[in-house]
């Protein structure tokens, strides 16, 4: 069976992942590759419906486990309907956030054990990226950028500075903890600077 490549972009709030995911998909598409640009939570009708439950409303709307299970339910739908079929036909899949966001937000942020979240991922999803770009940006700068966007999907932005500092700590450590899969990307500076760093990492 032909097998494409699965690349995920991870990082805290306002780190510029979504812009860079789009630029990367454009660059790969311009070289004639079949490319699928997608995001989590989301990417299918069912997963986008779950997303709206997760990213809107009051900060205490969900508990840690209800959040982790909703994120995983959305991921299962997305992986089975979009990502696995795209990889099977040989496409490059670029995904804005994936399981490392669950480990960072519901794990480091809300205190669930990483081992339990890894087990859940293995049992329910069972697909790992070939490459994960981990955006590194000071969380106060990222939160300021995200606040300036002022969109309605700000539930996680309201979870407090200690929560976001723990997430930044997880993403800071991830590339060294999993060097076979993950690359750190310095997300400070202009869109063009960051895009050039990504191309160099690829
Ligand atoms: P976005 O703002 O990057 O689109 O992501 C939506 C929010 O969902 C963001 O605040 C991070 C959060 N999130 C989790 O908490 N766990 C997850 O597994 C994923 C994929 C996202």
CATH code (residue 36): 3.40.50.300
**Residue 168: both structure tokens together:** 């930044």
pLDDT of residue 2: 53
pLDDT of residue 119: 98
Degrees, nearest 5: CA angle 136-78-173: 20
Q: Please give the Cα distance from 196 to 200 (Å, whole number).
A: 6
In total, how many domains does the chain have? 1
User: What are the C-alpha distances in Å from 92 to residues 1, 4, 9, 178?
Assistant: 15, 5, 13, 21
Residue 30 scores a pLDDT above 90: yes
pLDDT of residue 158: 87
Q: Indicate if ligand 1 lies below 6 Å from the C-beta of 105.
A: yes
Residue 86 scores a pLDDT above 80: yes
Ligand 1 atom closest to 155 (CA): 10
* Coil, helix or strand at residue 3: coil
Ligand 1 atom closest to 54 (CA): 8
| Domain range enclosing 154 | 5-201
CA–centroid distance for 74 within its chain:
13
- Taking the centre of ligand 1 as the mean of its atom positions, its distance from the CA of residue 27, in whole angstroms, is 25
């Amino acid at each position: 069976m032909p097998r494409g490549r699965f690349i995920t972009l991870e990082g805290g709030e306002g780190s510029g992942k979504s812009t860079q995911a789009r630029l990367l998909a454009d660059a790969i598409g311009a070289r004639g590759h079949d490319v699928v640009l997608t995001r989590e939570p989301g990417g299918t009708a069912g997963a986008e419906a779950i997303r709206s439950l997760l990213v809107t409303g009051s900060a205490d709307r969900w508990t840690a486990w209800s959040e982790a299970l909703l994120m995983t339910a959305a991921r299962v739908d997305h992986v089975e309907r979009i990502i696995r079929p795209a990889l099977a036909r040989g496409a490059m899949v670029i995904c804005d956030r994936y399981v490392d966001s669950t480990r960072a937000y519901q794990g480091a942020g809300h205190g669930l054990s990483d081992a339990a979240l890894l087990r859940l991922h293995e049992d329910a999803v069972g697909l790992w990226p070939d490459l994960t770009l981990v955006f590194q940006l000071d969380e106060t700068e990222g939160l300021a950028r995200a606040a300036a966007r002022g969109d309605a999907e700000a539930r996680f932005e309201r979870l407090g500075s200690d929560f976001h500092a723990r997430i930044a700590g997880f993403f800071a450590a991830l590339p060294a903890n999993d060097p076979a899969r993950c690359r750190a990307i310095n997300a400070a500076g202009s869109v063009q600077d960051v895009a050039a760093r990504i191309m160099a990492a690829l």
